Structure 1
Amino acid sequence: MQYVKPLHLFQNLVKSNASQGGRLLGLDVGDKYVGLAVSDLDNKIASPLSVLVRKKTNIDLVAHDFQSLISELSLVGFVVGYPFDRQRLAPDATQVKLFIDDLSETGKLDGLKFTFWDERFTSKNVELLIKPLSLHPVLAKTVVDKFAAVQILQ
């Protein structure tokens, strides 16, 4: 996996869409789950996709799931939510960085480009929106993770 700045990822996407197409996958990395969202074929609209269970012992399985999604959805890059904080390194930021490093070390996603995008308040925004729905806590968590990924990608 190769980190690129957001503008560079977008420029590559515009060039590749003109010739071969490609979509982006948004990731909201949490303690237990990774929320996923995918862009449409024109890369204008993001839609919730799914939630992957995240454990330290299943990184190879997660990488395999990403490989399947890359071929199935014609993905060309990842946009990973990252809690930027100018004052200090947030614990959540360390968690995201470790997840990406572990994923990269599997070697299963070599050549894939990714970038970080500010995710502050994405989960909180979704929580506030769905609170009136009184969803079961497990369902609420998966909805929050998927739609936070949508906000990151959108």
Structure 2
Amino acid sequence: MRYVKPLSLFHDLVKSNVETQGRLLGLDVGEKYVGLAVSDPRNKTASPLSVLIRKQSNIDLMISDFQSLISELSLVGFVVGDTSNKIQGYGNTGQVMLFIDDLCKTGKLECLKYTYWDERFSSKSVDFLLNPLDLHPVMAKTIVDKFAAVGILQGYLDYFNRQMKLEAAG
């Protein structure tokens, strides 16, 4: 895996042939789970996908899951939620970096690029919406993780699709 700046990842997608254009996978990395969301083939909208259990001991299993998703969904990159501009005392930047480092160290996802995108409040926003539903805590957690990943990826897609429209108009 190779890090690229957020704009570079999107420009690479736009430059690629529309027929072979790949999709992006949004990741909401937590201590116990990784929420996943996938973009549509045109990279306009994000949809919830699944949640993976995150343990150091199952990194090979996670790699296998990612490899399956890469081939099934024509993935070309990850948009990883991060709080690099974090508010004092809030955020999980360290665990996100450790997770990405673990993935990179395996050398099994070399075909992918990844970038970071601000995830502040993505989980809190979903929590707020789910609170009135009174769901079982495990079900609520998996829903929060998936939809937080949707929020991260959709925020990224919206921002850069808007930028592309402005560039085309300007």
| Alignment of structure 1 residues 99-138 onto 2, 5 Å | 99-138=99-138
CA contact (8 A) 2:86 2:120 kept: no
Equivalences, count: 154
Call closer, same or farther: CA 1:11–1:73 in 2, change over 3 Å. same
C-alpha deviation, 1:101, in angstroms: 0.3
CA contact (8 A) 1:84 1:120 kept: no
Aligned to 1:70: 70
Q: Which of structure 1's runs of 4+ aligned residues deviate more than 3 A?
A: 86-91
Q: Secondary structure at the match of 1:26?
A: strand
Deviation track 1:82-139 (CA, whole Å, cap 9, x = no partner) reads 0123676966100000000000101110131000000011000000011111111000
Is 121-130 or 80-89 further displaced after alignment? 80-89
Partners of 2:4 and 2:99 in 1: how far apart?
A: 17
Unmatched 5+ stretches in structure 1: none
Aligned to 2:36: 36
CA contact (8 A) 2:52 2:62 kept: yes
Q: Percent identity?
A: 69
Q: Aligned Cα RMSD in Å?
A: 1.5
Q: Secondary structure at the match of 2:41?
A: coil
Q: What is the TM-score normalised by the length of structure 2?
A: 0.86
Deviation track 1:51-106 (CA, whole Å, cap 9, x = no partner) reads 00000111111111101100000001000000123676966100000000000101
Q: What is the TM-score normalised by the length of structure 1?
A: 0.95
